[in-house]
Amino acid sequence: MTINVNPPVAADTTMQMGPQDYIRRSASSVPAPARQLEPVAKLIDVSKCIGCKACQSACLEWNDLREEVGVNTGVYDNPHDLTPNTFTLMRFTEWVNPETDNLEWLIRKDGCMHCADPGCLKACPAPGAIVQYSNGVVDFVKENCIGCGYCVKGCPFDIPRISKVDNRSYKCTLCSDRIAVGQGPACAKACPTKAIVFGTKEEMKAHAAERIEDLKSRGYSNAGLYDPPGVGGTHVMYVLHHADKPSIYAGLPDDPRISPLVEAWKGVTKYAGLALMGFAAAAGFVHMAVSGRNRVTVEDDEEARRLAERAPGAAPLDPSKEPSA
Partner 1 sequence: MNMEISRRSFLKGAGAGVAVTTIGAFGFGEAEAAFVEGLRPYKLAGTTETRNTCPYCSVACGVVIYSKGDIEQGTAEAIHLEGDVDHPTNRGTLCPKGSALLDFIKADTRLMKPKVRRAGSNTFEEISWDEALDGIVRHMKDDRDANFIERNMDGVPVNRWTTTGFLAASATTNETAFLTYKAVRSAGMVAFDNQARV
Partner 2 sequence: MTDGTMHGHNRPAPHVTKADIDRGDRLHVGREVIVDRYTKWARLNHWVTAISLILLALSGLALFHPSLFWLTNLFGGGQMTRMLHPWFGVVLFFSFAGLFIRFFRLNLPAREDAQWAARIGDVLKGNEEKLPEVGKYNAGQKFVFWAMSVLIMILIASGLGIWEEYFTQYLTIEQLRIAVLVHSIAAVAIICVWIIHVYAAFWVQGTLSAMTRGTVSGGWAWRHHRKWLRALAAYGKRDDRPDEPKS
Partner 3 sequence: MTNSWTDIRNTDLVVIMGGNAAEAHPCGFKWVTEAKANRGAKLIVVDPRYTRSASVADYYAPIRQGSDIAFLLGVIKYCIDNDKVQWDYVNAFTNAAYLVKEGFTYQDGLFTGYDAEKREYDRATWDYQIGEDGYVLMDETLQDPRCVWNLLKEHIAIYTPEMVERICGTPKDKFLKVAEMISECSTPTKTMTSMYALGWTQHSKGSQNIRSMAMLQLILGNIGVRGGGMNALRGHSNIQGLTDIGLMSNLIPGYLNIPTEREVDYATYIGSRGFKPLRPNQVSYWQNYPKFFISFMKAMWGSAATPQNEFAYHYLPKLDLPAYDVLRAFEMMDQGQMHGYFCQGFNPLLSFPDRGKITRSLSKLKYLVVMDPLETETARFWENHGEFNDVDSASIQTEVYQLPTSCFAEDEGALVNSGRWLQWHWPAQNLPGEAKHDTWIMAQIHLRLKKLYQEEGGKFADPILNLHWPYADPGEPTADEIARELNGYAVETLRDPNDPTKVLVEAGQQVPGFAALRDDGSTAAGCWIYSGCYNQNGNNMARRDNSDPDATGAYLNWAFSWPANRRILYNRASADLDGKAWDPERKLIEWDGEKWAGYDVPDIPPTSNPREVGPFIMNPEGQSRLFSRGMMRDGPFPAHYEPFESPVVNVVAPAIRGNPVARVFESDRESFGDADEFPYAATSYRLTEHFHYWTKHVWVNAVLQPEFFVEISEALAEEKGIEKGGWCRVWNKRGSVHAKAVVTKRIQTLMCDGKPVHIVGIPLHWGFTGAAKNGMGPNSLTPFVGDANIETPEFKAFLVNIEPSNGPATA
Which positions from 93 to 132 touch partner 3 by CB under 8 A, shown as an x/- string? -x-x-----xxxx-x-------------------------
- The 3-state DSSP class for residue 115 equals strand
194 contributes a contact to partner 1 by CB under 8 A: yes
Name residue 169's beta-bridge partners. 162
Rg, Å, the chain Cα set: 31
Q: Is 155 annotated as a binding residue?
A: yes
Q: Are residues 302 and 322 in contact, defined by beta-carbon separation less than 8 angstroms? A: no
Among 44, 51, 126, 171, binds partner 3 (CB under 8 A): 51
Is there a binding annotation on residue 207?
no
Q: Give least dist CB 293 to partner 1, A.
A: 53
Residue of the chain from 138, 191, 215, 262 that contacts partner 2 (CB under 8 A): 262
Residue 72 found at the interface with partner 1 (CB under 8 A): no
Residue 288 among known ligand-binding residues: no
Could you give the count of Cα atoms lying within 13 Å of 302 in the half-sphere of its Cβ?
A: 7
Which residues, other chains included, contact 255 with Cβ-Cβ below 8 Å and sequence gap of 6+? 228, 230
Helix (H) or strand (E) holding 305: helix 298-310
Query: CB under 8 Å to 53, separation ≥6 — which residues?
Result: 90
- Do 112 and 174 meet the contact criterion of CB atoms below 8 Å apart? yes
Judged by beta carbon distances under 5 to 8 A according to partner kind, the member of partner 1, partner 3, partner 2, none in contact with residue 79 is partner 3
Which residues ranging from 202 to 221 are in contact with partner 1 (CB under 8 A)?
Answer: 203-204, 207, 211
Q: Is 170 annotated for ligand binding?
A: no
User: Nearer Cβ to partner 1, position 188 or 262?
Assistant: 188
Q: Pick the closer one to partner 1 by CB: 186 or 262.
A: 186
Binder to partner 2 among 8, 298, 322, 324 (CB under 8 A)?
Answer: 298
Residues 10-29 that bind partner 1 (CB under 8 A): 10, 12-20
User: Facing residues of 131 across strands?
Assistant: 25, 139
Does 146 contact partner 2 by CB under 8 A?
yes
Structural element, H or E, at residue 131: strand 130-133
Exposure string of 94-111, with b = 16+ CB inside 10 Å and e = fewer, is eeeeeeeeeeeebbbbbb
Distance CA 132, CA 117 (A): 9
How far is residue 235's CA from residue 138's CA, in Å, rounded to a whole number?
9
Query: How many other C-beta atoms lie within 10 A of the C-beta of residue 36?
Result: 11
Q: Which of 10, 34, 69, 290 binds partner 3 (CB under 8 A)?
A: 69
Nearest C-alpha neighbor of 47 from the set 176, 197, 187: 197
The partner in contact with residue 188, picked from partner 2, partner 3, partner 1, none with C-beta cut-offs of 5 to 8 angstroms by kind, is partner 1
Only segment of 43-51, 117-125, 142-150, 162-170 that touches partner 3 (CB under 8 A):
43-51
Is residue 192 a contact residue for partner 1 (CB under 8 A)? yes
Task: Specify whether the CB–CB gap between 175 and 144 falls below 8 A.
Answer: no
Residues near partner 3, by CB under 8 A: 1, 3-7, 47-54, 56-57, 60-61, 66-76, 78-79, 94, 96, 102-105, 107, 192-195, 214, 217-218
Residues near partner 2, by CB under 8 A: 27-28, 125-127, 144-150, 152-153, 158, 162, 164, 167, 259, 261-262, 264-265, 269-270, 272-274, 276-277, 280-281, 284, 287-288, 291-298, 300-301, 303-315, 318, 321
